[in-house]
Amino acid sequence: MRLVRAELGQLLRDARLRWIGAVLVILLSVALVGAWRQAARDADAVQRITQAERGRWLGQDAKNPHAADHYGLWVFKPSAPLAILDPGVEPYTGRMVRIEAHLFNDAVFRAVQDANPLTRAGLGSVADIVQLIVPLAVILLGFSAFAADRERGTLRLALGNGAAPGRLFTARLAALLSALALVIGAPLLVLGGLAAANLDAPGWEVWPRLVPWVAAQLAYAAAFLILAMTLSLTARTARAALAASLLAWVLLCVAAPRLATVGVEAAAPALSYRDTRARIDGAVRGHRTAEASDERAKAILARYGVTAPDALPVDLRGLMSSENEQHYFAVFDAAFGAFFDSLLRQERAYAWAGLLSPRIALQALSATLAGTDFPQHVRFVWAAEHYRRGISERMNRAIIDNPQGGERRYTAGHDLWETVPPFDYVPMPLAGATFAVPFAILAAWLAVLGGAAALAIRRLKP
Amino acid sequence: MRHAPDPVLAIGDVVKRFGGRTALDGLTLTLRAGEVFALLGPNGAGKTTTINLILGFLRADTGTVRVCGIDAGADPIVAREAIAYIPEQVALYPGLSGRENLRYFTTLAGLALARDEADRLLEQAGLAVEAHTRKAASYSKGMRQKVGIAIALARRARLLLLDEPTSGLDPSASADFSSVVRAAAARGTTVLMATHDLYRVKEVADRVGVLQAGRIVEEIDPARLDHAALERLYIERLAS
């Protein structure tokens, strides 16, 4: 501890720490507060529109339930509170789905459509700053840890007078990590905690997510710190250590994610969205022909042992509509199931690509912990679809149970609309999230870099 | 039967080559507790290489280097625990004062040094009191050397390695240095001093080894010679 205190004392004298620390705190705080304000505005808008939609649904005129099914309504995915730290895929996937008869609609309301230039440049969120800027800051703090001493000659004096390289490395690492915990961990935990608690909603498990999320960011920073310090152990000069560290940053933070994306697309190609929609359209069109419809009507009459629709104890159109929906459900399940499965396979492959770069591992881990990863979106899409199916089934059931014929026309009113519950999205719990692979890979990066540092320490020469 | 204690430094038939050049060619040297040994030799004779081998900064191609019985090549960190070292150019942290440098370097070595104790050691090394709190950036070479001496004294090591310790020191500082070395030896510290300074060698060394082309070609008892004779012998040895 005495040595760590001494190293902290040395560090605090270094103007670099003050400047870099101040810049990081400002960058992170500005990004976080900006995201917090935007999230609060969005949450307010979502709440207002959701209430208005509910009112619109309940306040609709008396009409045939099938017309009500087409009348439809909008449902929203509540934004994950930790999206203010890592928006993950949320800005790109949409948070609002139109629920209506027969249609599996895409989610809209994509934040990226209204993004500012900084966000479009990939530097708008706290996670962007941590993933791209923090490693640079860490390199600027760590590159001189040993190389500057070697250049100055103080390393020779220290080692020749009994300084143990391992203890020295550990103490310097601990001092720098403490500084990073202060300038990165503290603002993220305090401001992030305040904001996330303020935006909290049932099922999001804010604190169980936030603490490991901050720990993951610090582990990522620690990986780059160990890397920079290891290069500093081996480089002849501080300038060489800085150049090597910056090269490593370019490879790991800039080049590797692009390479990984190309590799994953080749290794685990996703189904085309256009082809998926075309397959669905083909399957629906084939089912909707007049001939096919007549055949199904005849089959129903035969099943009930009657020859005319008026003789049925149920409503023929309601029954046919219900059976048609079951067919569409099966089509959607197969086509979109395969489509989303292919995207999820890509996600899993990309998580494994974390072996190429700790940034990739952190991206996957961070979004999963924040609840803004792609599986969370897929869960919402299917939750909205199941809600839609529930409404369709309820409307069709009402038609089936109230046969129409001759002059009889069935119309339903407020009582039926009220039987439709509000859309209540339950997010995927943290325990159900799949973060084992990126977590293990990030831990492996730390272990490998720690091993490399241990080797360099053993070979340390002044 | 009683065993003789391990020598503080035992160098056995060490060969060290850098590419095609042989820096040390069968160097053998044994130093016991409290001895002051001066390694004399021209530039390139292998003095600094010898010190680097003892510190474990280099590994011998063949032969052994043992410090208090510990193989300095195989276990340099443990071996260095018994060593204090003052390089020819003592480099300090320019933003720290002499006292802060001393306390920081001793902390790195795992020692806790109170402020009073640090001041006492700096005084013992000959650094003026007013300089204790001045930033090392303003120190002369001699002042930095004195802080180096204070660091070495604080370590109370069994073996003190000095690489050209008096180069750049004024006569008064050199005289102070001689008394520090003698006092350390009197406390049982073994001193190995690589130097060109024949005058200082005559004053402090118990034994002198003339190193030439990587081996000790002559061992001299300086007590038996005056300064002029020592210088003559040294020059003759180098010329032969």
DSSP codes of every residue in A303-340: HHT-SSGGGSSS-HHHHHHHHHHHHHHHHHHHHHHHHH
Q: Which of A114-128, A196-210, A266-280 has the highest mean pLDDT?
A: A266-280
Number of A:B CB contacts under 8 A? 75
CA–CA distances in Å: residue A22 to residues A30, A37, A245, A308, B196: 12, 22, 22, 81, 52
According to DSSP, the β-strands at A96-99 and B9-18 are unpaired
pLDDT for residue A405 is more than 90: no
pLDDT for residue A185 is more than 90: yes
B139 touches chain A (CB under 8 A): no
Q: What is the mean pLDDT of chain A?
A: 92
> Which of the 8 DSSP states describes residue B135?
B
pLDDT tens track for B24-75: 999 999 999 999 999 998 888 899 999 999 999 999 999 999 999 999 999 9
Distance CA B169, CA B160 (A): 19
What percent of chain B is predicted at pLDDT more than 70? 97
pLDDT tens track for A275-309: 999 999 998 888 888 888 888 899 999 988 998 88
The domain B1-82+157-165+192-240 belongs to what CATH superfamily? Answer: P-loop containing nucleotide triphosphate hydrolases (3.40.50.300)
Q: Work out the burial of residue A324: count CB atoms within 10 Å of its CB; fewer than 13 is exposed, 13-18 middle, 19 or more buried.
A: buried
How is chain B split into domains, by residue range? 1-82+157-165+192-240, 87-156
What percent of chain A is predicted at pLDDT more than 70? 97
Sign of CA dihedral A186, A189, A192, A194: negative
Q: Give residue A203's pLDDT band: very low, low, confident or very high (50, 70, 90).
A: confident
For chain B, how long is the longest CA-to-CA vector?
57
Residue B4: the pLDDT is 62
Closest CB from A162, A166, A462 relative to B109: A162
Between A206 and B224, the higher pLDDT residue: A206
Residue B167: the pLDDT is 78
pLDDT tens track for A13-37: 889 999 999 999 999 999 998 889 9
Residue of B58, B93, B97, B108 best to disrupt the A interface, most CBs of A under 10 A: B108
Inter-chain touch B90–A13, beta carbons under 8 Å: no
Interacting residues of A387 by C-beta distance below 8 A, sequence separation 6+: A75, A99, A423
Residue A232: the pLDDT is 97
B87 touches chain A (CB under 8 A): yes
SS3 category, B65: strand
Distance CA A43, CA A52 (A): 14
Q: What is the mean pLDDT of chain B?
A: 90
In chain B, whose CA is at the least distance from the CA of A457? B77
Distance CA B239, CA B233 (A): 10
Going across the sheet that includes B21-31, the strands are B21-31, B9-18, B62-67, B70-71
In chain A, whose CA is at the least distance from the CA of B148? A157
pLDDT for residue A456 is more than 90: yes
Inter-chain touch A157–B87, beta carbons under 8 Å: yes
pLDDT for residue A341 is more than 90: yes
Q: Taking CB atoms and an 8 Å cutoff, what residues of chain A touch B80?
A: 159-162
Residue A389: the pLDDT is 96
Residue B240: the pLDDT is 63
Residue B2: the pLDDT is 54
SS3 category, A97: strand
Range with lowest mean pLDDT among A118-122, A263-267, A448-452, B230-234:
A118-122
Residue of A5, A7, A161 best to disrupt the B interface, most CBs of B under 10 A: A161
pLDDT for residue B186 is more than 60: yes
Number of H helices, E strands in chain A: 21, 2
Q: Taking CB atoms and an 8 Å cutoff, what residues of chain B touch A162?
A: 80-81, 83-84, 108-110, 155, 157
Q: Give residue A122's pLDDT band: very low, low, confident or very high (50, 70, 90).
A: low
Q: Taking CB atoms and an 8 Å cutoff, what residues of chain B touch A161?
A: 80, 83-85, 105-106, 108-109, 151-152, 155
Distance CA A395, CA A387 (A): 12
Closest CB from A3, A13, A162 relative to B80: A162
Q: What is the ipTM of this complex?
A: 0.93
Between A93 and A404, the higher pLDDT residue: A93
Average pLDDT over residues A54-58: 96
Range with lowest mean pLDDT among A112-116, A381-385, A389-393, B50-54:
A112-116
pLDDT for residue B113 is more than 90: yes
Q: Give residue B120's pLDDT band: very low, low, confident or very high (50, 70, 90).
A: very high
CA–CA distances in Å: residue A46 to residues A32, A39, A374, A429, A441: 20, 10, 21, 22, 37
Q: Taking CB atoms and an 8 Å cutoff, what residues of chain A touch B161?
A: 160
Q: Give residue B109's pLDDT band: very low, low, confident or very high (50, 70, 90).
A: very high
Residue with tokens 């940034």: A359
Residue A120: the pLDDT is 64
Q: Give residue B221's pLDDT band: very low, low, confident or very high (50, 70, 90).
A: confident
Residue A192: the pLDDT is 84
pLDDT for residue B3 is more than 70: no
How is chain A split into domains, by residue range? 2-458
pLDDT tens track for A366-384: 999 999 999 999 999 999 9
What percent of chain A is predicted at pLDDT more than 90? 74
Inter-chain touch A154–B155, beta carbons under 8 Å: no
- Provide the shortest C-alpha distance from residue A14 to chain B (in Å): 9
Residue B175: the pLDDT is 83
- Provide the shortest C-alpha distance from residue B111 to chain A (in Å): 9
Q: Taking CB atoms and an 8 Å cutoff, what residues of chain A touch B95?
A: 13
